[in-house]
Copies of this chain bind each other. A is one copy, B any other.
Amino acid sequence: MSCNIAIAGVTGAVGQEFLRILEERDFPFSSVKMLASARSHGKKLTFKGREYTVEEMTDKSFDGVDIALFSAGGSRSREFADAVKKAGAVMVDNSSAFRMDPDTPLVVPEVNPEAIKDHKGIIANPNCSTIIALVPIWPLHNANPVKRMVVSTYQAASGAGQAAMDELALQSKDILAGREARCEAFPYQIAFNLFCHNSDLKPNGYNEEEMKMVNETRKIFSCPDIAITCTCVRVPVMRAHSESINLEFDSPITADEVRELLSTAPGVTVLDDRENNRFPMPIDADGKDDVYVGHIRQDESIPDNRGINLWVCGDQIRKGAALNAVQIAERLV
């Protein structure tokens, strides 16, 4: 089966990755509409050897479209959701707009693909840090329920878009040349520095990014009671997120068992070479589909061998965003 697709926000970092991934995976499409804001209207793009013209996204853009891949920000997703549904298309939305809506499936294809069929016109792509954490945690949770997760993230600039990656490069150049760092994409200096995630703070003191990990994980795992706490941090890395994950399981589990479970898990590459102290790094995951996992250790601070520490790296733009959405679209086709 082949389908008509639209890409909303096609000129952004995730939009551009949509195109690369659709091409790489030979996604079965009949037509592609390249949609963006008025600013990019008329811009030319090459996709699979053919030239396309970017169109301004309007309510009429979705006539005849089957699947609309959205990565244009939450307000654009909200603005065009009705138009997409009225056109009979399905929106696969990378924004946070509908993630916690009870009528919208929130899907990591390696975890809960069965949720896709319950959609009412919108399927939400989870937050990047959540996807990257859950791909390796799910097969463990299935073997031995996770009772509690303590996560600290090391998040790449790409999570704030292409402008943030450009800012990291420019600030680095300026600082190395003895000039002052100018902050536009980020509120604080990102080059040779790091800071708690700059998303809005909730009344409980957690930023939105931290609460996404908590709430989205509960929804994706269908585990409303799983205990999760998270600290989200921006680091001067281009496009792969890293996460330090501490897991408390229901029953005893060893590092060897975890390694064994992960070695056959879909979407996971185990890179856990103790002899050479060689574990995942952002530059390993950069441009790759899999989530890399290593530095797998028994957490000796939890009794009865029920604790495990993991270190994971995943490409924020690919598995953290565009790839996960395309995988959802593949299951829709």
Contact = CB atoms under 8 A, between A and B. Distances in A.
Contact of A172 (B176, B229, B281, B298): B176
A319 interface: no
Closest 7 A/B residue pairs (Cβ) = A227-B301, A152-B152, A152-B244, A205-B297, A229-B301, A231-B244, A196-B279
Chain A interface: which size bin? 35 or more
Most central of A148, A189, A242 by chain B CB within 10 Å: A242
A169 to B, nearest CB: 6
A154 B194 contact: yes
A150 interface: yes
Contacts of A172: 172, 176, 192
A102 B257 CA distance: 37
Contacts of A30: none
Interface stretch (A52-60, A124-132, A233-241): A233-241
A229 B299 contact: yes
A142 interface: no
Contacts of A275: 201
Contact of A188 (B169, B196, B281, B294): B281
16 contacts: A149-B301, A169-B176, A173-B176, A188-B281, A194-B282, A196-B277, A196-B279, A198-B277, A200-B277, A204-B298, A204-B300, A205-B297, A229-B300, A231-B244, A233-B244, A236-B237
A195 interface: yes
A65 interface: no
Interface string A151-192: 010100000000000001100110010000000000111001
Given A205-B296, A236-B236, 15 more contacts: A154-B154, A154-B235, A172-B172, A193-B283, A195-B279, A195-B281, A196-B277, A205-B298, A227-B301, A228-B301, A229-B300, A229-B309, A233-B242, A233-B244, A246-B246
B187 A277 contact: yes
A295 interface: yes
A204 B281 contact: no
A115 interface: no
Chain A interface secondary structure, helix, strand, loop or mixed? mixed
Given A176-B172, A176-B173, A206-B297, A194 B231 contact: no
A311 interface: yes
Interface string A267-294: 0000000110101011100000000001
Interface in A194-247: 194-196, 198, 200-201, 204-207, 227-229, 231, 233, 235-238, 242, 244, 246
A195 to B, nearest CB: 5
